[in-house]
Amino acid sequence: MWLRKLLYYPLSIALTIASPAPVVRGQPGGAPWLAIDSNFPDPSFLQAPDGRWYAFGTNGNNRRVQVAVSLDFHTWNLTDIEALPTLAPWETAIDHWAPDVIQRDDGRYVMYYSGEARSRLRHHCVGVAISASTSPLGPYIPNDEPLSCRLNDGGSIDPAGFRDPADGSRYVLFKLDGNSVGNGGDCNNGNPPILDTPIMLQPVEEDGFTLRGDAVEILHRVTEDGDGPLVEAPSLVFVGGMYYLFYSTHCYTDVLYDVRFATADSLGGPFEKGNESLVRTGEFNLTSPGGGTVWAGDEGPRILFHGFCGEEVRCTYAAELEIGDGDVRFV
């Protein structure tokens, strides 16, 4: 995965783009902290009914899907659990990216993840795996069929589950990986014609994976918005009557990789982009922060995201957030 993505965008380029560190939106009083001091990219997380926190990360440390646990969200332990010990028929054994887990009403957990499509190597589908029991540690057993492929559009990656508090209905967000079929340059999508990498919203049934109608596009890569070659890594929450869609812009190897958010009054959008980073390189000693997941539960909103903490190593950072009135800041 690393080598492949680095081919799109040599790390040396990232080091030559110096950028000033502008003030974060709002006035941050708090700061992110290093939560998982190990390669744990694209973190997602949930709080189980017993109050414990569980985080899931992209393949690394010899695991397809990594799991970390915490009693308080502050201190995390990386486990040696392999959450996805078996493969679906559609996928190869590599590239298990950006897992995201939700709990169903029957107590089981559903993991969404990206895997490489056997039918078109180097392109990916979003797969679904269901926990064998009511433990969030898994193991997760993959469904035979992926949730979304769209290989002619570049494939589907970066899934994130969402349950709309307004009516309890379930959705899966993901990114159409347009840059994987781009025309070279920055993250393989820097040369014209520059392709879209839309964030999609797919309604699903209560089981978490049966499709309910078609996916719709809710956010686009726009050059004038400063998105660079792509938008990706969606994470959606509903707070105070408003939907907040978090996402990353630019290539993940670029110092311009960041976390941003867009807001909407209704789930279908339109989502209005802030066009500014919630967090970016240079702030809090972070390098290329992104791939974030936001949780808006009873204990207050919080985020996990990754940033480089060594060459080709992305550690996971945590922060508590204040979300309201269309704005987000660290507290």
Ligand X SMILES: *[C@@H]1O[C@H](CO)[C@@H](O)[C@H](O)[C@H]1NC(C)=O
Residues 102-121 that bind ligand X (CB under 6 A): none
Kindly tell me which residue out of 11, 13, 71, 166 binds ligand X, with binding defined by CB under 6 A.
71
Q: Indicate the residue among 190 and 274 with the shorter CB distance to ligand X.
A: 274
Q: Indicate the residue among 203 and 274 with the shorter CB distance to ligand X.
A: 274
Kindly tell me which residue out of 104, 124, 163, 273 binds ligand X, with binding defined by CB under 6 A.
273
Counting contacts by CB under 6 A, is residue 224 touching ligand X? yes
Kindly tell me which residue out of 14, 69, 102, 201 binds ligand X, with binding defined by CB under 6 A.
69
Q: Indicate the residue among 36 and 129 with the shorter CB distance to ligand X.
A: 36
Q: Indicate the residue among 159 and 307 with the shorter CB distance to ligand X.
A: 307
Counting contacts by CB under 6 A, is residue 77 touching ligand X? yes
Measured CA to CA, the distance from residue 10 to residue 2 in angstroms comes to 11
Q: How far is the CB of 231 from ligand X (least distance, A)?
A: 13
Residues 284-323 that bind ligand X (CB under 6 A): 285, 309
Q: How far is the CB of 70 from ligand X (least distance, A)?
A: 6
Copy the structure tokens of residue 53.
């926190």
Confirm if 180 and 155 have CB atoms less than 8 A apart: yes
Kindly tell me which residue out of 70, 180, 188, 248 binds ligand X, with binding defined by CB under 6 A.
70
Confirm if 236 and 247 have CB atoms less than 8 A apart: no
Confirm if 260 and 275 have CB atoms less than 8 A apart: yes
Confirm if 175 and 189 have CB atoms less than 8 A apart: no
Nearest 5°: phi and psi at 205? -75, 175
Copy the structure tokens of residue 32.
């992110």
**303 φ/ψ sector (left φ>0, alpha ψ -120 to 50, else beta):** beta
Copy the structure tokens of residue 223.
């050059």
Q: Indicate the residue among 91 and 283 with the shorter CB distance to ligand X.
A: 283
Q: How far is the CB of 297 from ligand X (least distance, A)?
A: 18
**Cα 162 → chain centroid:** 12
Counting contacts by CB under 6 A, is residue 133 touching ligand X? no
Confirm if 297 and 303 have CB atoms less than 8 A apart: no
Q: Indicate the residue among 17 and 222 with the shorter CB distance to ligand X.
A: 222
Q: Indicate the residue among 37 and 205 with the shorter CB distance to ligand X.
A: 37
Would you call 45 exposed, middle or buried from its count of C-beta atoms within 10 A (0-12, 13-18, 19+)?
buried
Query: One-letter amino acid identity for 103?
Result: Q
Counting contacts by CB under 6 A, is residue 225 touching ligand X? yes
The number of residues that bind ligand X (CB under 6 A) is 12
List residues near ligand X by CB under 6 A.
69-71, 77, 224-225, 272-275, 285, 309
